[in-house]
Structure 1
Amino acid sequence: MPKPTPLTAADIAAIQGAKQFQTSILIGRGKYRSALHPSLAAAREVAPQIEAEVNNGRHCMVHAIDRATEKAILVPAGFDPVAPVAAKAEKPAKPKASAKPTKPKAGSKSDIAVKMLGRKGGAARKAIVEACGGWQVDLKQLCARRGLKLKRLADGNFIAS
């Protein structure tokens, strides 16, 4: 089951100020049973009754209807509208990875292939595959990840620079 997302301060304010609450439960095949209620307490009181009537193992969800934005906000089961709730601070976004060429561990298959391509006279694809234990390497992609230019020589060997 996915972890619920924490409520934002705006969501908490919308739930606390909502004038209508909706209960809904999935009956099956994309069909829902829904009802509107004037308060959160009334919606929570009816939810177990609806679950018992439908009796399909699913839980009845309670949503606060924000009239200003016409948005339905899922009310978590443990949410207490009276208690002050400290909204969790949003985590700062992680910086995106730069497009730097990758540098694998020394002695890896890709490292062996790059060393063979960097030799004077290059290397044949068959020799690279044998040296890497049968690994079918995509030389063009490997060189692109490393920031190298792949060239095919007249004798059929490949060289990277």
Structure 2
Amino acid sequence: MGIKGIHHINLIVPQGTLYAAREFYGNTLGLTPRDVPAAQRGTLAWFDIAESGQQVHIAFGREEDFSEGGRGAGRHPCFKLGGLDELKELQEKIWAHFLRGKEEGKRDVVLGTPMTCDEPGKGNSGAQGPEYPTRFFARDYAGNRLEFTL
């Protein structure tokens, strides 16, 4: 089992500013724009980082995400795993850690107990659609959202 790299990072921008994201990430940084899922056109911008297979995703955040202390729920890394078995094994491992902390009532920083994890065998808590690969989400002990995919 092991994480093979970063699949993508997701960054958030204020509503109505995808044009600015395309200008900055596409034209200024030179990343290559790519198609987004049909159901989310106009709400996302995706860019390839050269031919690395890694991507930068841009999505709209909520107003409170941009305030000091905002949780920025849309900001997250997406870790890439080598295969479906590895993905399922990692999800089961994170889920077991989550349940252990829940049972012991010890969801704290010392134990690093995840705040949440999508339950194995159930749907993922992200956007749904045929364009999305097999994936799951979790929140680490500090509330950072993490995505895991192939």
Q: Does the TM-score normalized on the shorter chain lie above 0.5? A: no
Task: Pick 1 or 2: higher relative contact order, CA cutoff 8 A, min separation 6.
Answer: 2
Which structure's residues are more often helix, by fraction? Answer: 1
Of the two, which has the highest radius of gyration? 1
TM-score (norm. length: structure 2): 0.21
